Structures are given as structure tokens and as C-alpha cells.
Amino acid sequence: MKNFLIFFSFLLIFSACEQKNEQKINERASINNQKSKKNNFGIILHGGAGTILKEHMSDSLEVAYKEILEKAIRTGYEILENNGSSLEAIAATIKIMEDSPLFNAGKGAVFTHHDTNELDASVMVGNTQDAGAISGVTRIKNPIDLAIKVMTDSPHVMLSGEGAEQFASEKGIELVDPSYFFTENRFKSLQRIKDSEKTELDHDGKTALVSPGQNDSKFGTVGAAALDKHGNLAAGTSTGGMTNKKWNRIGDAPIIGAGTYANNATCAVSSTGWGEFFIRAVVAHDISALMEYKGLTLKEASEEVIQKKVPSLGETAVLLPLTKRAIW
């Protein structure tokens, strides 16, 4: 009986040791998994949608585009690699494209019908779902900076026009003379569209303007989405809008849920395309909602919106979505 008790005690001790070892192994695996997730990060960008035919781009121009895009993505990547936030990464990435005349944002913004430049931008962070946006500004060197400042330093989400510029001045955001945004290439694009405008009679017998080339001038928005080592997503979008736009037209880029959206539980999205369709379909948020409420993957949700919903309205969609799940 004594031997049995000793043996039974040995079994209990051995079992307890095994359980402790197994628990330690599981704890280590969990810690390693958490470290792995913590060290995961990523960033993606877009320099606008649409097709640039090879015959319309010289070798030197192609090289210039690639250099700026590479500089932008490397800048954001290095910030994330050095434990910077996803917001810092997308801001730095987008600013590089805003400072280049090659993209329809900031310096390279397209012209309105009245030969001016009107800029829009927005940003959103996934952990708190705070957001900021600006629209119709004409003197802000880097619109993405002002969008972030609206998010961090005001009780509002969106500011527009002169009010947004007054806020920018009060907060130390860099302002420039509107002539800063003049680029010969963009101005010539406007003139080509204006030259192609035809006059027709509408149903009331009055003269109406038709711009057959305008639909081809809706692309060029820039944007970025990022995941940092802290597990936070962020997305941002910046644009000069549509060439030859009238009546202070505003597209989807500064509208949270249409052109930009971020939610740590699902994804971060920056959109580019014909803004009116993105607004009507609430594209960026719709992808997040499909993931959250229907349990779709990022790929499934994106395909549902891009290939089914938006085309049913009469337009194609171009998105830049990023999710933690895709990186992990």
C-alpha cells in the first residue's frame, strides 16, 4: 500500500511537471506569437488610377514616377520599421507625392474650370476611429497635414475653403501662394478639355455645355494605408479632384467612409476613381462593414464592392485596402 501511495504521488508530481512544462511551452508560444504580431507592419500606396499608355510616357518620365513612388514607400516603411505610428507613416508617404508635380495632389493638382486649384484630403486612424478632412482649399502646401490637424486639434471632422485655411494659419500649417500649384502639363490638360467642350441644346432649347473628355480626367488621387508595430491601422487620401471641375465640386477623397476609412477591427482603405460613385456607394466603409458584419475576408469584401456594387452604378472602382489579417 505504501509503495502504491509513493507511486501515485510520483505520478501526480510527474503529471504536474508535465502540465507546468506544457503551460510554459504554451506561454512561450503565445508570447512569441504576440511578439511576431507586434513586429508585423506594412504600408501600401497608390499614385492614382487610370491607364497611362506607353506611347504617352517617355522612358525618363517613367523613371521619374518610379523614383518618387519608391522614395515615398521607403520613407513610410522606415518610419514603421523604427516603431513609428501608422499615421506618421502615411503622412510622410503622402507628402512626398504631394510635393511632386507628377501626381494629382498638392503641387501637381489639376485645374478647375476657372483655372484654379482646389485641394481635398482626409485621414483616419483605426484604433480610435478619429478622422479629419479638408476640402476646397487653395493655399495649403500639404493638404494631408491640415487634415491631420483637423483631426487632432479641432472638435470637427471636416473643414472647407477659407475657414479651413484660417484654421491652418492659426495652427501653423504651411500656406503658399496659389501660383505654387501651377504646372504647365496640368494647365495644358485643362485647355485641351475646354477646347473639346461642345455646345448643344438642352430640352428647354437653352445652350448646354458638354465635356466629352472630362470622364478621362477624373483619376490621379494619391493615398496610403499602413499597419504599425503597435497593431494600429491608418489611411489617408489627397487629391486635386477632377480636371475642369465646376461649382466647387467635391469628390470622395475628403469624405470619411467614401474615399478613406480605417478600423482596427477590419481594415484601412484609401480610394481613387470617379468620386461621385464612391460617395453613392460609401465604398471605403462598405468594405469594412462587409468584413465586420458578414465575416468576409478583405479579398471577398473588396471584390463584392469593386466587381459588383460600384459597377452596378456605372463605374469601375480602384481601392487600396489593408488589413491586419492580410499581414499576419
Enter the C-alpha cell of residue 322: 489593408
pLDDT tens for residues 144-169? 999 999 999 999 999 999 999 999 99
Q: What is the pTM of this model?
A: 0.81
Would you say residue 57 has pLDDT above 80?
A: no
Check if the beta carbon of residue 229 is closer than 8 Å to that of residue 83. yes
pLDDT tens for residues 167-200? 999 999 999 999 999 999 999 999 999 988 765 4
Q: Who's near 118: CB < 8 A, 6+ residues apart?
A: 109, 112, 135, 136, 137, 138, 240, 241, 245, 248
pLDDT tens for residues 283-320? 999 999 999 999 999 999 999 998 888 777 765 545 55
The per-residue pLDDT of the chain, averaged, comes to 83
Would you say residue 12 has pLDDT above 50?
A: no
Lowest mean pLDDT among 35-39, 51-55, 175-179: 35-39
Choosing from 221, 239, 243, 260, the catalytic residue is 221
Which pLDDT score is estimated for 308? 85
Residues 42, 182: Cα–Cα separation, whole Å:
34
Smallest CA-to-CA distance from 227 within 35, 46, 84, 68 is with: 84
Task: Give alpha helix (H) positions in the chain.
Answer: 2-39, 59-81, 86-98, 143-153, 161-170, 184-196, 275-281, 283-294, 298-303, 310-313, 324-327
Q: Who's near 136: CB < 8 A, 6+ residues apart?
A: 118, 119, 120, 160, 161, 164, 248, 250
Active site residue 51: no
* Mean pLDDT, residues 241-250: 94
Residues 266, 324: Cα–Cα separation, whole Å:
8
260, containing H or E segment: strand 260-262
Q: Name the pLDDT band for 274 (thresholds 50, 70, 90).
A: confident
